[in-house]
C-alpha cells in the first residue's frame, strides 16, 4: 500500500464530493428562488419545498447509519468510497430527469445522493488509520474537516452562481463532472483491506449499545445534545436564509443569498479559533454562556425586519450586494456558535473510550443528523403556522434558550483553565 498517495487522493476526492453535495442542493433550491421571483410559486410554497429538499440529505444518515458502519467495517473502505460516488452520480442523473419528467425527480435524485454520502462518510474517516501512522491521525482528521468546510462553503456559492447563470441541464452536466472526478480519484487509490469476519448483527448491536451508553452518561450525554443543538441552528438558519434573503433583505439572486451562509461560517471559524485559545480540553464552564449569547444573536437577527436600521448601509462591490449590519450580525452569531461547539467537540473526543472513538464519532454524527432533521421539521411547522422568515429566527432563539437552560453539564474534575 502507498499511504501518502492514498491520503492525497482521499483529500482531493473528499473535497470534490462535499463540494458536489452542496452545489447540487444549491442548484435544486436555487430553481425555487427563480420560480418565486417569476411569480410561479408563492413564498410559502418556496419555504416548504426548500425545507423538504434540504432535509432529504439528512434522512439517509439517520436511517442507514448502522448499515453504513457495517459495510465499511466489513468491506474495503476504498470500495465504499467508489460506490458512494457512483450513487451520487446516479442521483445526479435522476435529478437531471426533472428536465423532462417534472421537478419531483430532483427530490428522488437528491435522496440517492444522500445515500451515497451516507456510505462515503464512514469510509473517509475509517480509512485514515489504515493509510497513515498513528501520530498523523489528529492532523489528518483536522485537514479532512477543514477541506470539508471549505467545500461546503464554495460548493454552495458555486452552485448558486451556476443556477443563476446557466440552464438547468448544463448545471447537472457540471455536477456530473464533479462527482465523476471524485470517483476517478477513488479508483486510483490502492485497495484497503477488508474484514470478512465482521457480522451485521454484531456491528449494529455494538452501534446501538454504544449509543445508549453515551446518551445515558451524565456528562457526555449532555455534550452530545449540545453538539446536536449547534447543528439544529446551522440547518435551520441555512434553510431559512433563502426566504429571509428574498422577503426581508430583498436580495436579487441565489448568489447573494448563498453569501449569507458564508458570513455565518466565517464567524464559526473565528469562534472555533478563539475557543482553542480560551479553553483547555474539558473546560465547559462557559458553554451555557455561549449558548445564551447565541440565542441573543438570533433575537437580533429577528429584529432586522422590524428595525429597518439594520438594513443600511448597503455596499456594492462588483456583483456583491452587502448589507453591512447584517454581515456583522451573522459573523458575530457564528462566533457565538463556534465558541459553543468546539469545547463540546473536544470534550467528547477526549473523554470517550479511546478504543471506541470511531463509534463515538458515528454516534455523534447520528445525533447531529437527527438534530438537522428536527431543524427541517421546525422550519416546515413554522410555514404551516404562518410564521414569517424573521419569526423563525425568534422561534429558534427560544429553542436554544430552553435547551441551554436545561444543559447543566457536570464539571469534569480534570479540566483546567488554559495556562
Residues 6+ apart with CB under 8 A from 386: none
Count structural domains, the chain. 2
1, pLDDT greater than 60: no
Calpha distance 324→328 (Å, rounded): 6
Evaluate whether 65 touches 363 at the Cβ level (below 8 Å): no
Last residue of a domain, one of 193, 213, 245: 193
pLDDT at residue 349, as a whole number: 75
pLDDT (0 to 100) of residue 165? 94
- Percent of the chain residues topping a pLDDT of 70: 96
Q: pLDDT higher for 13 or 411?
A: 13
Of 170, 193, 216, the position where a domain reaches its end is 193
Using pLDDT thresholds of 50, 70 and 90, give the confidence band for residue 357: low
- Measuring CA to CA, how many Å separate 162 from each of 92, 174, 273? 15, 9, 32
Average pLDDT for residues 65-73, to the nearest whole number?
Answer: 81
Range of 114's domain? 1-193
pLDDT digits (tens, 9 = 90+) for 193-228: 888 887 888 878 888 898 999 999 989 999 999 999
Mark whether 117 and 83 lie in a shared domain: yes
Q: Residue 303: give its domain's CATH number.
A: 1.20.1250.20
Q: Note the pLDDT of residue 419.
A: 30
* CA-based R_g, the chain, Å: 21
pLDDT of amino acid 416: 41
Q: Calculate mean pLDDT across residues 409-416.
A: 63
279 and 135 within one domain:
no
* pLDDT, greater one: 409 or 21: 21
Question: Which range has highest mean pLDDT (53-57, 184-188, 274-278, 314-318)?
Answer: 184-188
Specify the pLDDT at position 90: 98
**Residues 187, 203 within the same domain:** no
Same domain for 244 and 188? no
Q: Once rounded to an integer, what is the mean pLDDT over residues 3-8?
A: 81
The dihedral through the CA atoms of 418, 348, 54, 92 has a sign that is: positive
Given pLDDT bands bounded at 50, 70 and 90, which one contains residue 355?
low
pLDDT in tens, 98-144: 999 988 899 999 999 999 998 898 888 778 888 888 777 767 776 88
Residue 11 banded pLDDT, cuts 50, 70, 90: very high
Amino acid at each position: 500500500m502507498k499511504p501518502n498517495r492514498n491520503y492525497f487522493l482521499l483529500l482531493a476526492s473528499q473535497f470534490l464530493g462535499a463540494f458536489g453535495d452542496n452545489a447540487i442542493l444549491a442548484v435544486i433550491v436555487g430553481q425555487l428562488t427563480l420560480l418565486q421571483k417569476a411569480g410561479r410559486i408563492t413564498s410559502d410554497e418556496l419555504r416548504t419545498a426548500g425545507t423538504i429538499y434540504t432535509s432529504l440529505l439528512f434522512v439517509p444518515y439517520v436511517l442507514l447509519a448502522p448499515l453504513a458502519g457495517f459495510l465499511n467495517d466489513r468491506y474495503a473502505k476504498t470500495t465504499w468510497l467508489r460506490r458512494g460516488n457512483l450513487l451520487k452520480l446516479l442521483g445526479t442523473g435522476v435529478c437531471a430527469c426533472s428536465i423532462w419528467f417534472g421537478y419531483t425527480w430532483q427530490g428522488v435524485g437528491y435522496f440517492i445522493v444522500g445515500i451515497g454520502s451516507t456510505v462515503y462518510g464512514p469510509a473517509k474517516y475509517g480509512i485514515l488509520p489504515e493509510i497513515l501512522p498513528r501520530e498523523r491521525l489528529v492532523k489528518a482528521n483536522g485537514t479532512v474537516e477543514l477541506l470539508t468546510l471549505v467545500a461546503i462553503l464554495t460548493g454552495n456559492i458555486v452552485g448558486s452562481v451556476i443556477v443563476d447563470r446557466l440552464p438547468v441541464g448544463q448545471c447537472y452536466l457540471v455536477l456530473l463532472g464533479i462527482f465523476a472526478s471524485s470517483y476517478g480519484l477513488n479508483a486510483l487509490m490502492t485497495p484497503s483491506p477488508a474484514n470478512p469476519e465482521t457480522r451485521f448483527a454484531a456491528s449494529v448491536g455494538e452501534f446501538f449499545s454504544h449509543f445508549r451508553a453515551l446518551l445515558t452518561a451524565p456528562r457526555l450525554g449532555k455534550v452530545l445534545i449540545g453538539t446536536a443543538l449547534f447543528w439544529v441552528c446551522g440547518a435551520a438558519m441555512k434553510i431559512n436564509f433563502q426566504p429571509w434573503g428574498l422577503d426581508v433583505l430583498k436580495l436579487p439572486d441565489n448568489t447573494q443569498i448563498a453569501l449569507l451562509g458564508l458570513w455565518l461560517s466565517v464567524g464559526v471559524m473565528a469562534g472555533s479559533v478563539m475557543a482553542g485559545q480560551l479553553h483547555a480540553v474539558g473546560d465547559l464552564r462557559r458553554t451555557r454562556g455561549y449558548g445564551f449569547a447565541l440565542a441573543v444573536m438570533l433575537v437580533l437577527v429577528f429584529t432586522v425586519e422590524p428595525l429597518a436600521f439594520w438594513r443600511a448601509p448597503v455596499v456594492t462591490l462588483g456583483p456583491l450586494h452587502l448589507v453591512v449590519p447584517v454581515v456583522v450580525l451573522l459573523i458575530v452569531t457564528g462566533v457565538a456558535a463556534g465558541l459553543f461547539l468546539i469545547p463540546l467537540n473536544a470534550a467528547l473526543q477526549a473523554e470517550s473510550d479511546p478504543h471506541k472513538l470511531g463509534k463515538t464519532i458515528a454516534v455523534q454524527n447520528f445525533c447531529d443528523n437527527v438534530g438537522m432533521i428536527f431543524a427541517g421539521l421546525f422550519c416546515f411547522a413554522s410555514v404551516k403556522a404562518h410564521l414569517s422568515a424573521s419569526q423563525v429566527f425568534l422561534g429558534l432563539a427560544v429553542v436554544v434558550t430552553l435547551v441551554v437552560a436545561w444543559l447543566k453539564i457536570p464539571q469534569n474534575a480534570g479540566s483546567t483553565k488554559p495556562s
